[in-house]
């Protein structure tokens, strides 16, 4: 597995080693021990989620408030998405900044999103099957988010506005300046096994 660091501390792209031959391919999509050895931090994923979406669908930006905040390991089984993570950690040098990466069934990349981030994605292919691991269970009372088109953030979702498909619930999410959040960069960024981050 190869680790690709983004411009936001702790937000990592994971690229598996893929073995191919005339029968097809094989790769290890998750190995707790190897991941923790590479990044120097422990994760205890407890829930897997999966969705299927059509072209132009935008889901997000979603997150859960502490103490139920979630780290996520996201990937795409089929199709292509533009995956986005927004830093909401108070006192983080990249607070309010976002990073986007294309994930697909072809590149098999994954994005490791720590606690303290809002997350969303747009679908770039006809359909996409998207899946992710969480290190905290879903708690509806802690769920919240930020509207996808907040001008102060300026996310380019890689989909023309006329093709965007957004749920009514996501259209009602607040802008960043009015969003509820309770993440502390110092507390969230501690707990590493070593100082590789």
Of the residues 63, 82, 119, 132, only one is catalytic, namely 132
Q: Using DSSP, state whether 188 is helix, strand or coil.
A: helix
Contact 114, 40 (CB under 8 A): no
Of the residues 30, 43, 62, 192, only one is catalytic, namely 62
Q: How far is CA 70 from CA 22, 67, 115, in A?
A: 39, 9, 5
Is 139 marked active-site?
A: no
Is 132 marked active-site?
A: yes
DSSP string, 62-95: EEE-TTS---EEEEEEESEEEEEEEE--BT-TTT
Helices (H) then strands (E): counts for the chain: 3, 13
Q: Any idea which residues carry the catalytic annotation?
A: 62, 132
């Amino acid at each position: 597995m190869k680790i690709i660091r983004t411009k936001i501390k702790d937000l990592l792209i994971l690229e598996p080693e893929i073995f191919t031959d005339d029968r097809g391919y094989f790769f290890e999509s998750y190995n707790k021990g190897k991941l923790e050895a590479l990044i120097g931090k422990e994760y205890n994923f407890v829930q897997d989620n999966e969705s299927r979406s059509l072209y132009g669908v935008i889901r997000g930006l979603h997150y859960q408030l502490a103490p139920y905040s979630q780290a996520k390991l996201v990937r795409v089984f089929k199709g292509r998405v533009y995956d986005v993570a927004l830093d909401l950690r108070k006192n983080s040098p990249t607070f309010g900044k976002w990073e986007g990466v294309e994930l697909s069934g072809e590149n098999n990349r994954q994005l490791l999103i720590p606690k303290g981030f809002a997350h969303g994605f747009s679908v770039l292919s006809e359909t996409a099957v998207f899946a992710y691991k969480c290190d905290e269970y879903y708690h509806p009372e802690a769920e919240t988010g930020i509207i996808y088109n907040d001008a102060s953030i300026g996310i380019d979702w890689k989909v023309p506005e006329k093709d965007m498909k957004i749920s009514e619930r996501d259209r009602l999410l607040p802008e960043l300046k009015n969003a509820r959040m309770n993440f502390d960069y110092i507390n969230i960024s501690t707990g590493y096994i070593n100082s590789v981050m």
